[in-house]
């Protein structure tokens, strides 16, 4: 009986440890995008996101921003065209507001995103992230489809063929408790 009580106490401590609480800052991240044309695709990545978050009770809210010019591919001409298409001179940041429940015991977070890109805010509800608690915070990774036309961005084209409507965005982020 004593052993069962000890195990229950340990289990409840472990479960409680799986709920996020307090303030967090983005320690490091990778945000990748991929555009697909009829016969090829191109990828870009930013490692320069900054962010902060707060978990109170059962809800966490995070704010993440990445300079649009920090997204680079292996083609500097493509990068310049991307900056022009996304109006980066006028709207230099891609900003994401994220709201989710604080419980990561299932190994995932389901978040509602509000993405401000090229000066236009759009909602992307129900984005699933895998979540793992680490010593100094937690790490998440996930993927969602961004739709450039929803942000009033004219789809780039190659030889007269536009990119596909959806642009998969993959995120890996390590959040540190502060």
Q: What is the CATH number of the domain that holds 59?
A: 2.40.128.110
Work out the angle at residue 98's Cα, subtended by the Cα atoms of residues 94 and 103, and round it to the nearest 5 degrees: 150
- The answer as to whether 4 is a domain residue is no
Q: Is residue 9 part of a domain?
A: no
Sequence-ordered list of residues with C-beta below 8 angstroms from that of 142, at least 6 positions apart, any chain = 109, 111, 127, 128, 129, 130, 170, 171
Reading the chain (178 residues) residue by residue, the pLDDT tens digits are 443 333 334 333 333 446 789 999 999 999 999 988 777 888 999 999 999 999 999 999 999 999 999 999 988 888 898 899 899 999 999 999 999 998 888 899 999 999 999 999 999 999 999 999 888 899 999 999 999 999 998 877 766 667 778 899 999 999 999 9
The tally of domains found in the chain comes to: 1
* Residue 67 belongs to a domain: yes
In a domain, 59, yes or no: yes
Taking the model in full, what pTM does it have? 0.81
Whose CA is closest to 43, among 56, 54, 32? 32
Residue 13 maps to a domain: no
- Between β-strands 167-177 and 41-46, what pairing exists: parallel, antiparallel or unpaired? unpaired
Q: Residue 90 belongs to what domain range? A: 20-177
Q: Is residue 132 part of a domain?
A: yes
Count of alpha carbons within 13 angstroms of residue 150, beta-carbon side: 14
CA distance 73 to 76: 7
Residue 145: inside a domain, yes or no? yes
Beta strands in the chain (DSSP E): 22-36, 41-46, 50-56, 59-67, 93-101, 108-117, 120-134, 137-146, 157-158, 161-162, 167-177
pLDDT at 169: 95
Asked if residue 173 belongs to a domain, the reply is: yes
């Amino acid at each position: 009986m004593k052993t069962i009580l000890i195990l229950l106490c340990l289990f409840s401590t472990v479960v409680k440890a799986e709920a996020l609480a307090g303030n967090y800052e983005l320690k490091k991240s990778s945000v990748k995008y991929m555009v697909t044309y009829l016969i090829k695709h191109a990828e870009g990545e930013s490692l320069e996101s900054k962010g902060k978050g707060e978990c109170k009770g059962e809800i966490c809210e995070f704010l993440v921003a990445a300079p649009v010019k920090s997204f680079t591919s292996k083609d500097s001409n493509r990068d310049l065209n991307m900056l022009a298409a996304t109006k980066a001179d006028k709207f230099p940041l891609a900003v994401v507001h994220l709201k989710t429940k604080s419980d990561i015991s299932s190994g995932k977070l389901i978040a509602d995103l509000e993405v401000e890109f090229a000066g236009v805010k759009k909602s992307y509800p129900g984005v699933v992230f895998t979540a793992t608690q680490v010593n100094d915070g937690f790490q998440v990774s996930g993927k969602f489809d961004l739709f450039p036309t929803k942000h009033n961005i004219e789809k780039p084209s190659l030889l007269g063929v536009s990119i596909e409507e959806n642009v998969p965005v993959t995120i890996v982020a390590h959040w540190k408790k502060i």
